[in-house]
A = this chain, B = another copy of it.
Amino acid sequence: MSHMTTRRHLLRGAAATAALTMTSAAGTGTAQAAKPAQAAPPTPAAAGTMLDIGILLYDGYSLLDPTGPAEVLSRLPGATVTMVAQKRGPVRTDTRDVAVMAERSIADVDHLDVLLVPGAGNRGTVAAMENQELLRWIRRIDRHSQWTTSVCTGSLVLAAVGLLKGRRATTYWASAEYLRTHYDVTYLPERYVRSGKIITAAGVSAGLDMALYLASLIAGDDTAKAVQLAIEYDPRPPFDAGDAAKADPELKQRALRLLAESQEQEVAPKSRRG
């Protein structure tokens, strides 16, 4: 029916109709048939090789830390993003409001091309830093990964593993002092910091910027830019309040209170549903 036909095109800008018609015609056919006419740079991912990206979930992570990068990285050609946790099943965020499914357990995963360790609230981060099974798994995966990455306090977990020794790194603004004073790490107040194959991102939303940078390293600038447009990432927050270096002490206190209070439910009846 023409009504349906029209609706099938609701995501198609006029400029892209031809290209997408081609893609659509390929339908359930091979990946090759649906390849773009102008191929991306001949990287492993663009060449159709699977790129195994694993994101570690652990109790009390902050929701955007894994999901922002997952949104970006799952758009890369040939990439699969898998949520991994100590046990399969739903893993609950720091506020206890939301649970994302872990599709695989760490026992089932012995290789990843890309590992991402998200950050968490205070309790979740501390628990992860002291979870020897988790730390051993991260160390094992890092041995053969192409990229080992973190968002927010995930860098503290990487530090606890020993992976940041002698490196430059970043972390959540309120954890910078801890990272700097407890580990042999040069803290940089950047959105993301690359040191060899390790990339650390600043707090929560910085995972988006880091993932686009990582996308460019994996699949080239043109593909990364296309992902950025695909997720319409032209950020324009209503306020200019996200940079801790420019924040006054009162705003910092208020931010940390909101975090602490939104996480209070950890010990309330709502907890441990996951």
Interface residues of chain A, those whose CB is within 8 Å of chain B, are: 4, 6-16, 19-20, 23-24, 27-28, 31, 34, 36, 38, 62-64, 67-68, 70-71, 74-77, 79-83, 90, 93, 95, 97-101, 103, 121-122, 125-126, 129-130, 152-153, 156, 172-175, 177-178, 182, 191, 202-206, 208-209, 212-213, 216, 221-239, 241-244, 247, 249-262, 264, 267-268, 273-274
Q: Given B6, B75, B98, B173, which contacts A67 in the complex, CB threshold below 8 Å? A: B98
Please state if B204 and A229 are interface contacts (CB–CB under 8 Å).
Answer: no
Residues of B within 8 A of A202 (CB): 232
Residues of B within 8 A of A264 (CB): 31, 34
Please state if B259 and A242 are interface contacts (CB–CB under 8 Å).
Answer: no
Please state if B228 and A242 are interface contacts (CB–CB under 8 Å).
Answer: yes
| Ranked 10 nearest A-B pairs via Cβ | A203-B232, A234-B242, A225-B241, A235-B235, A64-B71, A226-B254, A67-B67, A233-B242, A229-B255, A204-B231
CB distance from A92 to the nearest CB of B (A): 9
* Cα separation A241 to B129 with both chains bound (whole Å): 37
Please state if A16 and B257 are interface contacts (CB–CB under 8 Å).
Answer: yes
Residues of B within 8 A of A74 (CB): 63, 93, 95, 97-98, 262
Please state if A226 and B68 are interface contacts (CB–CB under 8 Å).
Answer: no
Residues of B within 8 A of A239 (CB): 212, 216, 221, 224-225, 228
